[in-house]
Chains A and B, each alone.
Chain A
Amino acid sequence: MTDRWKLLRSILIVAAAVALIALPFVAAMLGSTYAITLATRLLIYAMVATGLNLILGYGGLVSFGHAAYFGLGGYTVAILAFHLGEGTSILGFPGTNEALVAWPLAMVVSGLAALVFGALSLRTSGVYFIMITLAFAQMTYYVFVALKYYGGDDGLSLARRNTLGGARIVDAQTFYFVCLALLALVIGVVQRMTVSRFGMVLSGARADERRMMAIGYSPYRYRLTAFVIAGMTAGLGGALWANLARFVSPDMMAWTKSGDFLAMAILGGLTSIAGPVIGAAAFILIESTLSGLTEYWQVIFGPIVVAVALFAPRGLWGMLAGKQER
């Protein structure tokens, strides 16, 4: 990697960080809460895509059911709030509106689902893996459609946003910064993971599974761990989403949502840390611009994704980085 590229990359990263920190203030000056909401969506999508990229980009595993973990995280938050409102208990525990309880729990629920689904899906590979992850997500989707107690098809509204350690995070700006801090944390942890011993094994198994087995690795355990970590990240994203929208529905788990996450990761560029963030930003921008023009915005979005996949196989970040980044 050349020094010039390193410098350019540092400048880009600092510029992006400054822009993300300044954004809500600028938006507030312009009196635009819509911009803050849009930017918060970006942060949450970027978080989910970052987790997905760990298994997709580094692990080489095309999970077509990532929305399931996103949705489960959201529902965990919503169901806990629902029981608090009703004054009832769930599995013997009272409901809660406290983020410090609900969000970690959302990660645990999503992580457990990823553990079970992953343990079974990872027995297969290639197209079968894609289909099985999709099947599990669809199963989860229909379970929540059928759960009339929690709103079924209509979903579940949250009366108010969670409190964070007792403090209110209702204000759009405050919530934005909570999401930004968590995204920074997720990116930091995932970045370190990718170059750790664990990450080397995960990437090595993508590059050549037979070689890795011949030197003594069982890729399955490492892939499953990555799958669970990605699921937990999506769970946290879902918990934040439920708070942003104050509403969850089975649509959070729809296969189109899984496709969106895949598109973000691929659009930005796999096997890079910045890729998913750029992909999420591109997705939000394209979606919000095009959906203003036509209801059928995906008709335009689809070919864009295809074009990126064809002409910039390492995504938008890869285009920026040129040949420099490994």
Chain B
Amino acid sequence: MSALVLDHVVKRFGALRAADDVSLAIEDKELHAIIGPNGAGKTTLIGLVTGELVPNGGRISMQGQDITDWTVPRRAQAGLARSFQITRLCEGFSAEDNVALAVQAKLGHSFRFLRNARKEPALREPARAALQRVDLLDRADRLVGELSHGEKRQLELAIALASEPRLLLLDEPMAGMGQEESQRMVALLAGLKGKITIVLIEHDMDAVFSLADRISVLVAGRVIKTGPAEAVRSDAAVRSAYLGGEA
């Protein structure tokens, strides 16, 4: 069964078709990259999958379950985790607090009023484990504002991992990173590959071609090609529409 299926999904903003009859099937445990020029509709696609945007047509399903009408939190509860293109973290909280919140979300309702959540091993230990996975454990007590850009991106990943997702949606995780930071992120993602289903939206072509099992190319709201990295790289339509001279 596919981890995520988009079936003839349409999203219109006025006259603009930001998602124009998009059909995609992401297989279980694959790392599927989505590339495309600016304005191709990548952010719209993320919004549709996470539930922040409601499609004008088509269906979306996760693990065979139709989630088209589900809210953002409900999809997250069902195992969809995401990172944000522009980091969104709870300022004023420590790195560990941020991850612990994601752990807490998975442990049922949070109508618990009297116990100190910062001293609950059930929250803090998994949080620290997730920070360890992204190599950020030594910054656990730092406030978000004290972290570097690269560290914030790592923290985004730790938050996503802490919820033990079935499907991980990464929205340009390398955006704004230096070369060294990017390489570290690629190594982190390579370590996750094959363990979780990952949808990777990314501009860094080196990263995409070294990591992805399959790649989908989005141009003007349409998927013009889906296939293994090599097939996409050599595809004539893709080259003319997108990769152009740079490939």
- Name A residues whose Cβ lies closer than 8 Å to a Cβ of B: 189, 192-193, 195-201, 203-204, 207-208, 210-218, 222, 225, 326
Interface residues of B in 59-112 (CB under 8 A from A): 71-73, 76-77, 81-82, 84, 88-93, 97, 100-102, 104-106, 110-112
Q: Is the CB of B73 within 8 A of A196?
A: no
A193, A198, A201, A214: the one within 8 Å of B84 (CB): A214
Answer whether A216 and B118 are a contact pair too, CB < 8 Å, given A192-B113, A208-B89.
Answer: no
* A222 CB to nearest chain B CB (Å): 7
Q: Is the CB of A215 within 8 A of B116?
A: no
How far, in angstroms, from A219 to B102 measured CA to CA in the complex?
A: 14
Interface residues on B, range: 35 or more
Question: In the complex, what residues of B have CB within 8 A of residue A216's CB?
Answer: 73, 76-77, 102, 105-106, 163
Question: In the complex, what residues of A have CB within 8 A of residue B72's CB?
Answer: 213-214
Tally A-B pairs: CB < 8 A.
98
* A283 CB to nearest chain B CB (Å): 26
Answer whether A210 and B111 are a contact pair too, CB < 8 Å, given A199-B117, A200-B104, A201-B104.
Answer: no
A193, A197, A210: the one within 8 Å of B88 (CB): A210
Q: Is the CB of A198 within 8 A of B112?
A: yes
Q: Which residue of B lies closest to A193 (CB)?
A: B113
Q: Which residue of A lies closest to B156 (CB)?
A: A211
How far, in angstroms, from A204 to B97 measured CA to CA in the complex?
A: 9
* B131 CB to nearest chain A CB (Å): 15
Q: Is the CB of B113 within 8 A of A204?
A: no
Q: Is the CB of A208 within 8 A of B117?
A: no
Q: Is the CB of A213 within 8 A of B104?
A: no
A-B residue pairs, 9 tightest by C-beta: A216-B76, A207-B90, A216-B105, A211-B88, A197-B110, A197-B112, A213-B72, A215-B102, A216-B77
What are 21 A-B interface contacts by the 8 Å CB criterion? A189-B113, A189-B114, A195-B118, A197-B110, A198-B111, A198-B112, A200-B101, A200-B117, A207-B90, A207-B93, A208-B90, A210-B84, A210-B88, A211-B88, A211-B89, A215-B105, A215-B159, A216-B76, A216-B77, A216-B105, A218-B73
Q: At the interface, yes or no: B216 with Cβ under 8 Å from chain A?
A: no
How far, in angstroms, from A225 to B110 measured CA to CA in the complex?
A: 11
- Name B residues whose Cβ lies closer than 8 Å to a Cβ of A: 50, 52, 71-73, 76-77, 81-82, 84, 88-93, 97, 100-102, 104-106, 110-118, 120, 123, 143, 159, 163
Answer whether A208 and B73 are a contact pair too, CB < 8 Å, given A192-B116, A215-B102.
Answer: no
Question: In the complex, what residues of A have CB within 8 A of residue B111's CB?
Answer: 197-198, 222, 225
A201, A207, A213: the one within 8 Å of B110 (CB): A201
Q: Is the CB of A217 within 8 A of B116?
A: no
Q: Which residue of A lies closest to B71 (CB)?
A: A218
A197, A207, A222: the one within 8 Å of B115 (CB): A197
Question: In the complex, what residues of A have CB within 8 A of residue B143's CB?
Answer: 326
Given contacts A200-B101, A214-B81, 19 further A-B contacts (CB under 8 A): A196-B117, A197-B120, A200-B97, A200-B104, A201-B104, A201-B110, A203-B92, A204-B90, A204-B93, A210-B88, A213-B76, A214-B50, A214-B82, A216-B73, A216-B76, A216-B163, A218-B73, A326-B92, A326-B143
How far, in angstroms, from A212 to B71 measured CA to CA in the complex?
A: 13
How far, in angstroms, from A21 to B101 measured CA to CA in the complex?
A: 39
Question: In the complex, what residues of A have CB within 8 A of residue B71's CB?
Answer: 213, 218
Q: Which residue of A lies closest to B83 (CB)?
A: A214
Q: Which residue of B lies closest to A195 (CB)?
A: B116
Question: In the complex, what residues of B have CB within 8 A of residue A192's CB?
Answer: 113-116
Question: In the complex, what residues of B have CB within 8 A of residue A214's CB?
Answer: 50, 72, 76, 81-82, 84, 88
Q: Is the CB of A215 within 8 A of B163?
A: yes
Question: In the complex, what residues of B have CB within 8 A of residue A199's CB?
Answer: 113, 117
* B234 CB to nearest chain A CB (Å): 36
How far, in angstroms, from A196 to B111 measured CA to CA in the complex?
A: 9
Q: Is the CB of A196 within 8 A of B116?
A: yes
Q: Is the CB of A197 within 8 A of B90?
A: no
Interface centre among B72, B76, B110, B115 (most CB of A within 10 A): B110
Q: Which residue of A lies closest to B106 (CB)?
A: A216
